[in-house]
Chain A
Amino acid sequence: MVDRTSTAAIPATGSPVGGEPLVVLDGVNKHFGALHVLRDVDLTVHRGEVVVVIGPSGSGKSTLCRTINRLETIDTGTITIDGKPLPAEGKELARLRADVGMVFQSFNLFAHKTVLENVTLGPVKAKGMNRAQARDNGMALLERVGVANQAGKLPAQLSGGQQQRVAIARALAMNPKVMLFDEPTSALDPEMINEVLDVMVSLAGEGMTMIVVTHEMGFARRAAHRVVFMDGGQIVEQAQPETFFTAPRSDRAKDFLSKILTH
Protein backbone atom coordinates (compact mmCIF):
# COMPACT_ATOMS: atom_id res chain seq x y z
CA MET A 1 0.00 0.00 0.00
CA VAL A 2 1.27 3.43 -0.86
CA ASP A 3 1.45 5.87 1.98
CA ARG A 4 -0.75 8.70 0.66
CA THR A 5 0.24 11.18 3.32
CA SER A 6 3.88 10.98 2.37
CA THR A 7 3.12 11.18 -1.39
CA ALA A 8 1.42 14.51 -0.88
CA ALA A 9 4.28 15.90 1.15
CA ILE A 10 6.13 18.80 -0.39
CA PRO A 11 9.73 19.32 0.59
CA ALA A 12 10.11 22.04 3.19
CA THR A 13 13.21 23.40 1.53
CA GLY A 14 13.91 24.00 -2.14
CA SER A 15 13.13 27.35 -3.60
CA PRO A 16 10.13 27.68 -5.89
CA VAL A 17 8.00 24.90 -4.53
CA GLY A 18 4.67 25.81 -3.13
CA GLY A 19 3.41 26.83 -6.57
CA GLU A 20 0.08 25.42 -7.65
CA PRO A 21 -0.15 21.83 -8.92
CA LEU A 22 0.90 21.62 -12.57
CA VAL A 23 0.97 17.91 -13.35
CA VAL A 24 -1.45 15.74 -11.40
CA LEU A 25 -1.74 11.98 -11.78
CA ASP A 26 -4.60 10.47 -9.87
CA GLY A 27 -5.10 6.74 -9.52
CA VAL A 28 -3.35 5.96 -12.80
CA ASN A 29 -3.29 2.33 -13.90
CA LYS A 30 -1.72 0.95 -17.04
CA HIS A 31 -1.37 -2.56 -18.40
CA PHE A 32 0.69 -3.96 -21.24
CA GLY A 33 -1.38 -7.05 -21.87
CA ALA A 34 -1.28 -9.00 -18.65
CA LEU A 35 1.56 -6.90 -17.25
CA HIS A 36 0.40 -4.27 -14.75
CA VAL A 37 3.02 -1.57 -15.36
CA LEU A 38 1.52 1.35 -13.43
CA ARG A 39 -0.39 0.55 -10.25
CA ASP A 40 -2.55 3.26 -8.73
CA VAL A 41 -0.01 5.97 -9.29
CA ASP A 42 -0.75 9.30 -7.62
CA LEU A 43 1.74 12.05 -8.26
CA THR A 44 1.47 15.82 -8.04
CA VAL A 45 4.20 18.02 -9.46
CA HIS A 46 3.99 21.70 -8.66
CA ARG A 47 4.95 24.61 -10.84
CA GLY A 48 8.68 25.13 -10.64
CA GLU A 49 9.32 21.80 -9.00
CA VAL A 50 12.02 19.38 -10.11
CA VAL A 51 11.18 15.76 -9.46
CA VAL A 52 13.65 12.95 -10.02
CA VAL A 53 12.15 9.52 -10.66
CA ILE A 54 14.38 6.62 -9.77
CA GLY A 55 13.88 2.87 -9.61
CA PRO A 56 14.98 -0.50 -10.94
CA SER A 57 14.78 -1.44 -14.61
CA GLY A 58 11.23 -2.33 -15.62
CA SER A 59 9.67 -0.50 -12.70
CA GLY A 60 7.62 1.69 -15.04
CA LYS A 61 9.57 4.96 -15.01
CA SER A 62 9.56 5.40 -18.78
CA THR A 63 5.94 4.40 -18.99
CA LEU A 64 5.09 7.00 -16.35
CA CYS A 65 6.85 9.69 -18.37
CA ARG A 66 5.21 8.62 -21.59
CA THR A 67 1.71 8.64 -20.14
CA ILE A 68 2.16 12.27 -19.09
CA ASN A 69 2.27 13.41 -22.73
CA ARG A 70 0.09 10.51 -23.77
CA LEU A 71 2.60 8.68 -25.91
CA GLU A 72 1.02 5.84 -23.93
CA THR A 73 -2.65 5.68 -23.06
CA ILE A 74 -3.78 4.82 -19.54
CA ASP A 75 -6.44 2.33 -18.49
CA THR A 76 -7.91 4.08 -15.46
CA GLY A 77 -7.26 7.23 -13.49
CA THR A 78 -6.76 10.80 -14.65
CA ILE A 79 -3.86 12.99 -15.66
CA THR A 80 -4.25 16.74 -15.70
CA ILE A 81 -1.77 19.31 -16.92
CA ASP A 82 -2.27 22.80 -15.57
CA GLY A 83 -5.83 21.98 -14.58
CA LYS A 84 -6.79 20.47 -17.96
CA PRO A 85 -7.31 16.72 -18.29
CA LEU A 86 -5.30 15.09 -21.11
CA PRO A 87 -7.57 15.03 -24.18
CA ALA A 88 -8.11 11.76 -26.00
CA GLU A 89 -6.82 12.43 -29.51
CA GLY A 90 -6.68 14.97 -32.29
CA LYS A 91 -5.87 18.67 -32.35
CA GLU A 92 -6.60 19.22 -28.69
CA LEU A 93 -4.08 16.57 -27.71
CA ALA A 94 -1.46 17.90 -30.11
CA ARG A 95 -1.86 21.34 -28.54
CA LEU A 96 -1.52 19.98 -25.05
CA ARG A 97 1.54 17.96 -26.01
CA ALA A 98 3.18 21.20 -27.04
CA ASP A 99 2.94 22.24 -23.37
CA VAL A 100 4.90 19.17 -22.31
CA GLY A 101 8.48 19.02 -23.57
CA MET A 102 10.02 15.59 -23.81
CA VAL A 103 13.65 14.56 -23.97
CA PHE A 104 14.35 10.95 -24.90
CA GLN A 105 17.18 8.64 -23.96
CA SER A 106 18.04 8.15 -27.63
CA PHE A 107 17.72 11.88 -28.54
CA ASN A 108 15.39 11.19 -31.49
CA LEU A 109 16.47 14.27 -33.41
CA PHE A 110 14.89 14.39 -36.87
CA ALA A 111 17.64 12.71 -38.87
CA HIS A 112 16.90 14.44 -42.19
CA LYS A 113 16.70 17.96 -40.75
CA THR A 114 19.51 20.26 -39.72
CA VAL A 115 20.03 21.13 -36.08
CA LEU A 116 18.34 24.50 -36.55
CA GLU A 117 15.45 22.94 -38.49
CA ASN A 118 14.97 20.47 -35.65
CA VAL A 119 14.50 23.38 -33.29
CA THR A 120 12.26 25.50 -35.54
CA LEU A 121 10.00 22.77 -36.92
CA GLY A 122 7.68 22.59 -33.91
CA PRO A 123 7.15 26.34 -33.49
CA VAL A 124 6.53 26.82 -37.22
CA LYS A 125 4.42 23.75 -37.98
CA ALA A 126 2.62 23.16 -34.69
CA LYS A 127 2.31 26.71 -33.40
CA GLY A 128 2.23 28.67 -36.65
CA MET A 129 5.08 30.95 -35.62
CA ASN A 130 6.65 32.85 -38.52
CA ARG A 131 9.93 31.46 -39.78
CA ALA A 132 12.09 34.45 -38.99
CA GLN A 133 10.97 34.55 -35.39
CA ALA A 134 11.30 30.79 -35.00
CA ARG A 135 14.80 31.05 -36.39
CA ASP A 136 15.79 33.81 -33.96
CA ASN A 137 14.32 31.91 -31.02
CA GLY A 138 15.93 28.71 -32.23
CA MET A 139 19.37 30.28 -32.52
CA ALA A 140 19.00 31.80 -29.06
CA LEU A 141 18.11 28.40 -27.62
CA LEU A 142 21.00 26.70 -29.42
CA GLU A 143 23.24 29.40 -28.02
CA ARG A 144 21.89 28.72 -24.56
CA VAL A 145 22.65 24.99 -24.74
CA GLY A 146 26.02 25.70 -26.33
CA VAL A 147 25.60 24.28 -29.83
CA ALA A 148 24.82 27.39 -31.89
CA ASN A 149 27.95 26.79 -33.97
CA GLN A 150 26.49 23.47 -35.16
CA ALA A 151 23.19 24.94 -36.39
CA GLY A 152 23.66 23.96 -40.03
CA LYS A 153 24.78 20.38 -39.44
CA LEU A 154 22.76 17.20 -39.54
CA PRO A 155 22.25 15.41 -36.21
CA ALA A 156 24.45 12.46 -37.22
CA GLN A 157 27.42 14.84 -37.48
CA LEU A 158 27.16 15.77 -33.78
CA SER A 159 28.39 13.98 -30.68
CA GLY A 160 25.84 12.36 -28.41
CA GLY A 161 26.12 15.12 -25.84
CA GLN A 162 25.59 17.77 -28.48
CA GLN A 163 22.61 15.90 -29.92
CA GLN A 164 20.98 15.66 -26.51
CA ARG A 165 21.48 19.36 -25.93
CA VAL A 166 19.84 20.06 -29.29
CA ALA A 167 16.97 17.80 -28.22
CA ILE A 168 16.57 19.90 -25.08
CA ALA A 169 16.57 23.06 -27.18
CA ARG A 170 13.98 21.52 -29.51
CA ALA A 171 11.68 20.82 -26.57
CA LEU A 172 12.26 24.28 -25.07
CA ALA A 173 11.41 25.92 -28.40
CA MET A 174 7.78 25.00 -27.83
CA ASN A 175 7.88 27.01 -24.61
CA PRO A 176 6.56 24.09 -22.56
CA LYS A 177 5.09 24.31 -19.09
CA VAL A 178 6.83 21.16 -17.98
CA MET A 179 9.78 19.15 -19.28
CA LEU A 180 10.01 15.37 -19.12
CA PHE A 181 13.41 13.72 -19.31
CA ASP A 182 13.63 9.95 -19.72
CA GLU A 183 17.17 8.89 -18.82
CA PRO A 184 18.64 11.76 -20.86
CA THR A 185 22.25 10.82 -20.15
CA SER A 186 22.23 7.05 -20.11
CA ALA A 187 23.04 6.69 -23.81
CA LEU A 188 26.01 9.04 -23.47
CA ASP A 189 29.71 8.43 -23.09
CA PRO A 190 30.80 9.40 -19.57
CA GLU A 191 32.68 12.50 -20.68
CA MET A 192 29.52 13.93 -22.24
CA ILE A 193 27.16 13.39 -19.35
CA ASN A 194 28.05 16.57 -17.53
CA GLU A 195 27.55 18.90 -20.46
CA VAL A 196 23.94 17.70 -20.61
CA LEU A 197 23.42 17.70 -16.84
CA ASP A 198 24.76 21.26 -16.65
CA VAL A 199 22.12 22.42 -19.10
CA MET A 200 19.46 20.65 -17.04
CA VAL A 201 20.70 22.13 -13.78
CA SER A 202 20.60 25.63 -15.21
CA LEU A 203 17.11 24.98 -16.55
CA ALA A 204 16.04 23.88 -13.07
CA GLY A 205 17.63 27.01 -11.65
CA GLU A 206 15.49 29.13 -13.97
CA GLY A 207 12.38 27.63 -12.45
CA MET A 208 11.39 25.12 -15.15
CA THR A 209 9.09 22.39 -13.89
CA MET A 210 10.86 19.12 -14.59
CA ILE A 211 10.23 15.41 -14.22
CA VAL A 212 13.50 13.60 -14.69
CA VAL A 213 14.04 9.85 -14.84
CA THR A 214 17.70 9.44 -14.04
CA HIS A 215 20.13 7.52 -11.88
CA GLU A 216 22.47 10.48 -11.69
CA MET A 217 22.45 11.11 -7.97
CA GLY A 218 24.67 14.15 -8.38
CA PHE A 219 21.99 15.78 -10.46
CA ALA A 220 19.28 14.81 -7.99
CA ARG A 221 21.26 16.33 -5.15
CA ARG A 222 22.10 19.52 -7.02
CA ALA A 223 18.79 20.24 -8.69
CA ALA A 224 15.90 18.15 -7.48
CA HIS A 225 13.33 19.13 -4.88
CA ARG A 226 12.04 15.62 -4.55
CA VAL A 227 13.04 12.08 -5.41
CA VAL A 228 10.29 9.61 -6.29
CA PHE A 229 11.24 5.96 -5.97
CA MET A 230 9.31 3.50 -8.13
CA ASP A 231 9.29 -0.26 -7.99
CA GLY A 232 6.95 -2.74 -9.64
CA GLY A 233 4.80 0.02 -11.15
CA GLN A 234 4.19 1.72 -7.82
CA ILE A 235 5.50 4.83 -6.18
CA VAL A 236 7.04 3.26 -3.12
CA GLU A 237 8.64 6.23 -1.46
CA GLN A 238 9.32 9.89 -2.02
CA ALA A 239 11.45 12.38 -0.14
CA GLN A 240 13.93 15.19 -0.51
CA PRO A 241 17.07 13.96 -2.29
CA GLU A 242 19.35 14.15 0.73
CA THR A 243 16.88 12.31 2.92
CA PHE A 244 16.17 9.70 0.30
CA PHE A 245 19.80 8.90 -0.45
CA THR A 246 21.01 8.90 3.14
CA ALA A 247 18.01 7.52 4.98
CA PRO A 248 15.63 5.63 2.69
CA ARG A 249 12.65 4.27 4.60
CA SER A 250 11.47 1.32 2.55
CA ASP A 251 13.39 -1.91 2.26
CA ARG A 252 13.03 -1.86 -1.52
CA ALA A 253 14.63 1.57 -1.73
CA LYS A 254 17.43 0.50 0.61
CA ASP A 255 18.03 -2.58 -1.48
CA PHE A 256 18.00 -0.57 -4.73
CA LEU A 257 20.34 2.12 -3.40
CA SER A 258 22.79 -0.45 -2.09
CA LYS A 259 22.98 -1.90 -5.59
CA ILE A 260 23.53 1.36 -7.44
CA LEU A 261 25.92 2.72 -4.81
CA THR A 262 28.26 -0.23 -5.05
CA HIS A 263 29.30 0.79 -8.56
Chain B
Amino acid sequence: MTLSDYLDQFAELFATFDVLGAFWQIVRLTAVSAVVSFVLGTVLALMRISPIPSLQWVGAAYVNVLRNTPLTVIILFCNLGLWAQLGLNLASPTSQTFFEQNNFRLAVLGLSVYHAAFVCEALRSGVNTVPVGQAEAARAIGLGFLPTARLIIFPQALRGAIAPLGNTLIALTKNTTVASAIGVAEASALMKTMIEFRPDVIIAIFLTFAIGFVILVLPVGLVVTSLSRRLAVAR
Protein backbone atom coordinates (compact mmCIF):
# COMPACT_ATOMS: atom_id res chain seq x y z
CA MET B 1 0.00 0.00 0.00
CA THR B 2 1.22 3.45 -0.78
CA LEU B 3 1.23 6.46 1.45
CA SER B 4 -1.55 8.03 -0.55
CA ASP B 5 -3.72 4.99 0.08
CA TYR B 6 -3.24 5.56 3.79
CA LEU B 7 -4.01 9.24 3.45
CA ASP B 8 -7.19 8.35 1.64
CA GLN B 9 -8.13 6.01 4.46
CA PHE B 10 -7.47 8.67 7.09
CA ALA B 11 -9.56 11.17 5.18
CA GLU B 12 -12.36 8.69 4.94
CA LEU B 13 -12.19 7.85 8.66
CA PHE B 14 -12.22 11.49 9.66
CA ALA B 15 -15.18 12.11 7.36
CA THR B 16 -17.20 9.16 8.68
CA PHE B 17 -16.39 9.35 12.39
CA ASP B 18 -16.12 12.24 14.83
CA VAL B 19 -12.47 11.64 15.68
CA LEU B 20 -11.84 15.21 16.80
CA GLY B 21 -14.93 15.15 19.01
CA ALA B 22 -13.70 11.98 20.67
CA PHE B 23 -10.30 13.52 21.36
CA TRP B 24 -11.98 16.69 22.56
CA GLN B 25 -13.69 14.53 25.15
CA ILE B 26 -10.25 13.27 26.25
CA VAL B 27 -9.06 16.86 26.61
CA ARG B 28 -12.13 17.79 28.68
CA LEU B 29 -11.81 14.78 30.94
CA THR B 30 -8.10 15.45 31.42
CA ALA B 31 -8.45 19.17 32.07
CA VAL B 32 -11.26 18.92 34.61
CA SER B 33 -9.77 15.88 36.38
CA ALA B 34 -6.34 17.52 36.48
CA VAL B 35 -7.73 20.55 38.31
CA VAL B 36 -9.85 18.53 40.74
CA SER B 37 -7.11 16.00 41.47
CA PHE B 38 -4.57 18.78 41.98
CA VAL B 39 -6.77 20.46 44.58
CA LEU B 40 -7.56 17.18 46.30
CA GLY B 41 -3.93 16.03 46.11
CA THR B 42 -2.77 19.31 47.66
CA VAL B 43 -5.16 18.86 50.58
CA LEU B 44 -3.93 15.28 51.01
CA ALA B 45 -0.30 16.38 50.92
CA LEU B 46 -1.06 19.04 53.55
CA MET B 47 -2.61 16.36 55.73
CA ARG B 48 0.39 14.09 55.31
CA ILE B 49 2.91 16.78 56.29
CA SER B 50 0.72 18.30 59.03
CA PRO B 51 1.77 17.98 62.67
CA ILE B 52 -1.55 16.29 63.53
CA PRO B 53 -1.20 12.47 63.67
CA SER B 54 -4.84 11.67 62.87
CA LEU B 55 -4.70 13.80 59.70
CA GLN B 56 -1.42 12.17 58.71
CA TRP B 57 -3.04 8.80 59.14
CA VAL B 58 -6.08 9.67 57.03
CA GLY B 59 -3.85 11.06 54.28
CA ALA B 60 -1.63 8.00 54.25
CA ALA B 61 -4.58 5.61 54.30
CA TYR B 62 -6.24 7.42 51.39
CA VAL B 63 -3.11 7.32 49.28
CA ASN B 64 -2.39 3.69 49.96
CA VAL B 65 -5.94 2.54 49.24
CA LEU B 66 -6.59 4.62 46.13
CA ARG B 67 -3.17 4.21 44.57
CA ASN B 68 -3.38 0.45 44.84
CA THR B 69 -6.88 0.05 43.43
CA PRO B 70 -7.17 -0.46 39.66
CA LEU B 71 -8.64 2.61 37.99
CA THR B 72 -11.24 0.53 36.15
CA VAL B 73 -12.56 -0.67 39.50
CA ILE B 74 -12.81 2.89 40.78
CA ILE B 75 -14.56 4.18 37.67
CA LEU B 76 -17.00 1.25 37.60
CA PHE B 77 -17.66 1.78 41.30
CA CYS B 78 -18.49 5.43 40.66
CA ASN B 79 -21.04 4.35 38.07
CA LEU B 80 -22.46 1.10 39.44
CA GLY B 81 -21.92 1.80 43.12
CA LEU B 82 -22.26 5.53 43.71
CA TRP B 83 -24.81 6.21 40.99
CA ALA B 84 -26.78 3.05 40.25
CA GLN B 85 -26.79 1.68 43.79
CA LEU B 86 -26.53 4.74 46.04
CA GLY B 87 -28.32 7.16 43.74
CA LEU B 88 -25.63 9.83 43.52
CA ASN B 89 -26.70 12.12 40.68
CA LEU B 90 -24.06 14.55 39.49
CA ALA B 91 -26.35 16.11 36.87
CA SER B 92 -29.98 17.19 36.80
CA PRO B 93 -32.07 14.03 36.14
CA THR B 94 -34.55 16.03 34.06
CA SER B 95 -31.84 17.22 31.73
CA GLN B 96 -31.98 16.07 28.10
CA THR B 97 -28.35 15.04 28.29
CA PHE B 98 -28.54 13.53 31.76
CA PHE B 99 -26.69 10.30 31.01
CA GLU B 100 -23.97 12.01 29.05
CA GLN B 101 -23.41 14.64 31.73
CA ASN B 102 -23.75 12.30 34.67
CA ASN B 103 -21.36 9.73 33.23
CA PHE B 104 -18.85 12.42 32.36
CA ARG B 105 -18.91 13.75 35.91
CA LEU B 106 -18.75 10.31 37.47
CA ALA B 107 -15.72 9.62 35.30
CA VAL B 108 -14.14 12.89 36.42
CA LEU B 109 -14.84 11.92 40.02
CA GLY B 110 -13.19 8.53 39.61
CA LEU B 111 -10.22 9.89 37.69
CA SER B 112 -9.74 12.68 40.23
CA VAL B 113 -9.86 10.63 43.41
CA TYR B 114 -7.45 8.13 41.83
CA HIS B 115 -4.92 10.62 40.49
CA ALA B 116 -5.11 12.78 43.63
CA ALA B 117 -3.18 10.03 45.40
CA PHE B 118 -0.38 10.39 42.84
CA VAL B 119 -0.50 14.20 42.98
CA CYS B 120 -0.18 13.95 46.77
CA GLU B 121 2.88 11.75 46.52
CA ALA B 122 4.42 13.95 43.81
CA LEU B 123 3.96 17.02 46.03
CA ARG B 124 5.34 15.17 49.01
CA SER B 125 8.45 14.20 47.08
CA GLY B 126 8.74 17.89 46.23
CA VAL B 127 8.39 18.82 49.90
CA ASN B 128 11.27 16.46 50.65
CA THR B 129 13.51 18.51 48.36
CA VAL B 130 12.96 21.59 50.58
CA PRO B 131 15.53 21.76 53.39
CA VAL B 132 13.92 21.51 56.84
CA GLY B 133 15.62 24.77 57.80
CA GLN B 134 13.16 26.60 55.52
CA ALA B 135 10.20 25.49 57.62
CA GLU B 136 12.07 26.12 60.85
CA ALA B 137 12.92 29.65 59.80
CA ALA B 138 9.28 30.25 58.90
CA ARG B 139 8.07 28.93 62.23
CA ALA B 140 10.72 30.97 64.00
CA ILE B 141 9.30 34.24 62.62
CA GLY B 142 5.88 33.27 63.91
CA LEU B 143 4.18 31.68 60.91
CA GLY B 144 1.77 28.86 61.71
CA PHE B 145 1.54 25.56 59.83
CA LEU B 146 -0.72 26.69 56.98
CA PRO B 147 1.07 29.97 56.19
CA THR B 148 4.39 28.14 56.37
CA ALA B 149 3.12 25.51 53.95
CA ARG B 150 1.51 28.02 51.59
CA LEU B 151 4.20 30.70 51.53
CA ILE B 152 7.43 28.82 52.07
CA ILE B 153 7.17 25.07 51.57
CA PHE B 154 4.78 24.57 48.64
CA PRO B 155 6.19 27.24 46.33
CA GLN B 156 9.58 25.55 46.62
CA ALA B 157 8.16 22.03 46.69
CA LEU B 158 6.19 22.65 43.50
CA ARG B 159 9.40 23.29 41.59
CA GLY B 160 10.83 20.02 42.80
CA ALA B 161 7.53 18.26 42.07
CA ILE B 162 7.10 19.42 38.48
CA ALA B 163 8.59 16.29 36.94
CA PRO B 164 6.49 13.78 38.93
CA LEU B 165 3.42 16.02 38.51
CA GLY B 166 4.04 16.02 34.76
CA ASN B 167 4.23 12.24 34.77
CA THR B 168 0.95 12.11 36.65
CA LEU B 169 -0.65 14.42 34.09
CA ILE B 170 0.59 12.23 31.24
CA ALA B 171 -0.74 9.13 32.98
CA LEU B 172 -4.05 10.91 33.60
CA THR B 173 -4.37 11.84 29.92
CA LYS B 174 -3.98 8.24 28.86
CA ASN B 175 -6.05 6.91 31.74
CA THR B 176 -9.08 8.97 30.66
CA THR B 177 -9.69 6.17 28.12
CA VAL B 178 -10.97 4.09 31.03
CA ALA B 179 -14.02 6.38 31.08
CA SER B 180 -15.38 4.47 28.08
CA ALA B 181 -16.10 1.67 30.56
CA ILE B 182 -19.01 3.76 31.83
CA GLY B 183 -20.14 5.02 28.47
CA VAL B 184 -18.26 8.28 28.04
CA ALA B 185 -17.79 8.76 24.33
CA GLU B 186 -14.08 9.44 24.37
CA ALA B 187 -11.39 8.36 21.96
CA SER B 188 -11.01 4.72 22.91
CA ALA B 189 -14.77 4.19 22.75
CA LEU B 190 -14.78 5.59 19.24
CA MET B 191 -11.82 3.43 18.34
CA LYS B 192 -13.76 0.31 19.27
CA THR B 193 -16.70 1.46 17.17
CA MET B 194 -14.44 2.21 14.22
CA ILE B 195 -12.75 -1.19 14.44
CA GLU B 196 -16.15 -2.82 14.46
CA PHE B 197 -17.37 -0.99 11.36
CA ARG B 198 -14.12 -0.72 9.38
CA PRO B 199 -11.97 -3.76 10.20
CA ASP B 200 -10.53 -3.36 6.68
CA VAL B 201 -8.56 -0.21 7.65
CA ILE B 202 -7.46 -1.35 11.08
CA ILE B 203 -3.88 -0.09 10.76
CA ALA B 204 -5.07 3.38 9.88
CA ILE B 205 -7.41 3.33 12.86
CA PHE B 206 -4.65 2.37 15.27
CA LEU B 207 -2.33 4.98 13.79
CA THR B 208 -5.01 7.63 14.14
CA PHE B 209 -5.31 7.06 17.87
CA ALA B 210 -1.63 6.48 18.55
CA ILE B 211 -0.70 9.70 16.78
CA GLY B 212 -3.61 11.52 18.42
CA PHE B 213 -2.39 10.65 21.89
CA VAL B 214 1.21 11.46 21.07
CA ILE B 215 0.08 14.89 19.86
CA LEU B 216 -1.81 15.40 23.12
CA VAL B 217 0.85 14.12 25.48
CA LEU B 218 4.11 15.21 23.88
CA PRO B 219 3.72 18.94 24.66
CA VAL B 220 3.08 18.10 28.32
CA GLY B 221 6.49 16.43 28.56
CA LEU B 222 8.19 19.33 26.78
CA VAL B 223 6.54 21.96 28.96
CA VAL B 224 7.43 20.02 32.09
CA THR B 225 11.08 19.72 31.15
CA SER B 226 11.43 23.40 30.38
CA LEU B 227 9.48 24.45 33.49
CA SER B 228 11.54 22.37 35.85
CA ARG B 229 14.69 23.86 34.32
CA ARG B 230 13.45 27.42 34.51
CA LEU B 231 11.97 27.24 38.00
CA ALA B 232 14.81 25.42 39.77
CA VAL B 233 15.46 27.10 43.14
CA ALA B 234 19.01 28.36 43.48
CA ARG B 235 20.55 27.54 46.85
B151: A residues at CB distance < 8 A: 121, 125
Whether B141 and A174, one on each chain, are in contact in the complex, defined by CB atoms closer than 8 angstroms, is yes
Whether A170 and B141, one on each chain, are in contact in the complex, defined by CB atoms closer than 8 angstroms, is yes
Whether A110 and B142, one on each chain, are in contact in the complex, defined by CB atoms closer than 8 angstroms, is no
Interface residues on B, range: 20 to 34
Whether B133 and A108, one on each chain, are in contact in the complex, defined by CB atoms closer than 8 angstroms, is yes
Whether B155 and A112, one on each chain, are in contact in the complex, defined by CB atoms closer than 8 angstroms, is yes
A261: B residues at CB distance < 8 A: none
B189: A residues at CB distance < 8 A: none
B235: A residues at CB distance < 8 A: 111, 156
Contact with B along A158-174 (1 / 0, CB 8 A): 00000000010011011
Q: Quick check: is B205 within 8 A (CB to CB) of the other chain?
A: no
Q: Quick check: is B93 within 8 A (CB to CB) of the other chain?
A: no
Q: Quick check: is B144 within 8 A (CB to CB) of the other chain?
A: yes
Given A121-B151, A156-B235, A108-B134 contact (CB < 8 Å): yes
B61: A residues at CB distance < 8 A: none
Q: Quick check: is A127 within 8 A (CB to CB) of the other chain?
A: yes
Q: How far is the CA of A121 from the CA of B136 in the complex (A)?
A: 14
Q: How far is the CA of A98 from the CA of B134 in the complex (A)?
A: 16
Q: 8 Å CB contacts to B: which residues of A24-80?
A: 69, 71
Contact with A along B124-160 (1 / 0, CB 8 A): 0000000101101111111110010001100110010
* Minimum distance in angstroms from A35 CB to a CB of chain B: 19
A173: B residues at CB distance < 8 A: 141
Whether A95 and B134, one on each chain, are in contact in the complex, defined by CB atoms closer than 8 angstroms, is no
Q: Is the interface of B mostly helix, strand, loop or mixed?
A: helix
Q: How far is the CA of A170 from the CA of B136 in the complex (A)?
A: 13
Whether A112 and B143, one on each chain, are in contact in the complex, defined by CB atoms closer than 8 angstroms, is no
B143: A residues at CB distance < 8 A: 94, 121-122, 125-126
Q: How far is the CA of A102 from the CA of B138 in the complex (A)?
A: 10
B31: A residues at CB distance < 8 A: none
Q: Quick check: is B15 within 8 A (CB to CB) of the other chain?
A: no
Interface residues on A, range: 20 to 34
Q: How far is the CA of A174 from the CA of B138 in the complex (A)?
A: 12
B152: A residues at CB distance < 8 A: 110
Q: Which single residue of chain B is at the shortest CB-CB distance from A99?
A: B142
Q: How far is the CA of A29 from the CA of B176 in the complex (A)?
A: 56
* Minimum distance in angstroms from B159 CB to a CB of chain A: 8
B234: A residues at CB distance < 8 A: 111, 154, 156-157
A95: B residues at CB distance < 8 A: 142
Q: Which single residue of chain A is at the shortest CB-CB distance from B137?
A: A108
Q: Quick check: is B51 within 8 A (CB to CB) of the other chain?
A: yes
Whether B142 and A106, one on each chain, are in contact in the complex, defined by CB atoms closer than 8 angstroms, is no
Q: Which single residue of chain B is at the shortest CB-CB distance from A89?
A: B51
Q: Quick check: is B233 within 8 A (CB to CB) of the other chain?
A: yes
Q: How far is the CA of A42 from the CA of B39 in the complex (A)?
A: 48
Whether B141 and A122, one on each chain, are in contact in the complex, defined by CB atoms closer than 8 angstroms, is yes
Q: How far is the CA of A111 from the CA of B155 in the complex (A)?
A: 10
- Give the interface centre of A101, A102, A127, A173 by most chain B CB atoms within 10 Å: A102
The 9 closest A-B CB pairs, nearest first, are A98-B142, A122-B141, A156-B234, A108-B133, A126-B142, A108-B137, A102-B140, A94-B144, A97-B142
15 contacts between A and B (CB under 8 A): A89-B51, A94-B143, A104-B133, A104-B136, A108-B133, A108-B136, A110-B137, A111-B156, A112-B155, A112-B159, A112-B233, A122-B142, A126-B147, A157-B234, A171-B141
